[in-house]
Structure formats: structure tokens, C-alpha cells
Amino acid sequence: MKITKNMTIGELIRTYPQTARVLMSFGMGCVGCPSSQGETLEEAAMVHAMDIDELMKALNEAV
């Protein structure tokens, strides 16, 4: 299963726990906060002013 921009952070962490480290390296320290359960990777990237393409590349490389 490939990681997509539409996956929620909660879904990502449950499916691929090793990606939490990648998210945190990008400055997304809220991997365990309640909003992460319903927030998509794309939404989170926008909120945190991250390059979604770089984030997706790093996440997919981690798995």
C-alpha cells in the first residue's frame, strides 16, 4: 500500500509506525494530538507550511 496525501496522520501512524520519526523530522511534532486522527497529510503539510511532495517522498522511502 502506497502512502497518499489523503491518508490521515492517525491512519499513517497505525499502518506504518516508523513514519512518526519522519513526520517529526519535518517539524510535525503533533503526531499524537487528537486533530491528527482526522487531518490528512496534505492538510497537515499546509498548516505546517511543508512541501507536501518532499514529505510524501520521505514517507514512502521510510516504508
What pLDDT does residue 28 have?
83
In terms of C-beta density within 10 A (0-12 exposed, 13-18 middle, 19 or more buried), how is residue 50 classed?
middle
Cα separation of 28 and 54, whole Å? 14
Reported pTM: 0.85
- DSSP-derived letter for residue 63 is -
pLDDT tens-digit map of 17-48 = 999 999 999 988 766 677 777 889 999 899 88
Q: Where are the alpha helices (DSSP H) in 1-63?
A: 9-15, 19-25, 41-47, 52-62
